[in-house]
Chain A
């Protein structure tokens, strides 16, 4: 049973556009929601993360929106650039000392066209 569902599977956006990736979770014990970026041949790297005490977190062009009642969170990439082309994974974890026991979504392959 997939605990973190991610959509869409792939996304094509024009340069300068907004990229939106959505995730939904089931386990209400989750309290840490990171997004990872992965380039081909590389390991995932933390992009931005949020905890449920806030509904939004912004870092540069990247924003996480969090809806606790709906058990959903999303990544928005503003002014998308070709260099943002990568695979993006949402993840979730919860409980004492378990921010490292990440449950990942299936990933979204983003292509930003110049």
Chain B
């Protein structure tokens, strides 16, 4: 049981490049989400999904796309990276009314 797995751990992008952060969970959780963590701002919800084929926006969705084709996977796409997207990204999963489990994070730097 690996829990919530994020890849890559570290990534450096140039402004304007696109990339996908991968997230997979093996706990059969219906809920998955992406947060970004910035100094002094806690974690902010980017996008979330309550099941395969269903996604919705969180607090800070601009510049990011998601899809949920399977229960296990919830990739986060940066369409055209900007320096403001330099952050630590966390994927999380859980069941309604229960504990949310976080991955170990993906450190992204946009230069």
Asked if chains A and B come from one complex, the reply is yes
Show the binding face of A for B, using Cβ within 8 Å: 4, 6, 9, 41-46, 49, 89, 97, 99-107
Residues of A within 8 A of B33 (CB): 100-101
Task: Kindly state whether residue B94 has any CB partner on chain A within 8 Å.
Answer: yes
Nearest opposing residue in chain B for A42, CB measure: B104
Give the Cβ gap from B16 to chain A, nearest Cβ, in Å.
Answer: 29
B98 touches A99 (CB 8 A): yes
Give the Cβ gap from B65 to chain A, nearest Cβ, in Å.
Answer: 19
B97 touches A99 (CB 8 A): yes
* A99-B97, A100-B96, A102-B45 known; A45+B102 contact, CB < 8 A: yes
Task: Kindly state whether residue B61 has any CB partner on chain A within 8 Å.
Answer: no
Residues of A within 8 A of B35 (CB): 104
* A43-B103, A43-B104, A46-B99 known; A104+B40 contact, CB < 8 A: no
**Alpha-carbon gap, A46 to B102, bound state (A):** 9
**Alpha-carbon gap, A105 to B50, bound state (A):** 23
* 8 Å CB contact of A107 from B31, B42, B48, B102: B42
B100 touches A102 (CB 8 A): yes
Residues of A within 8 A of B4 (CB): 43
B104 touches A97 (CB 8 A): no
Q: What are 7 A-B contacts with C-beta separation under 8 Å?
A: A43-B92, A46-B101, A99-B96, A99-B98, A101-B48, A102-B43, A107-B40
B94 touches A105 (CB 8 A): no
B45 touches A101 (CB 8 A): yes
Residues of B within 8 A of A46 (CB): 99-101
Known: A97-B50, A107-B40. 9 other contacts (CB 8 A): A6-B42, A43-B105, A44-B90, A100-B31, A100-B33, A101-B33, A101-B48, A101-B58, A105-B42
Residues of B within 8 A of A104 (CB): 35, 42-44
* 8 Å CB contact of B96 from A41, A97, A107: A97
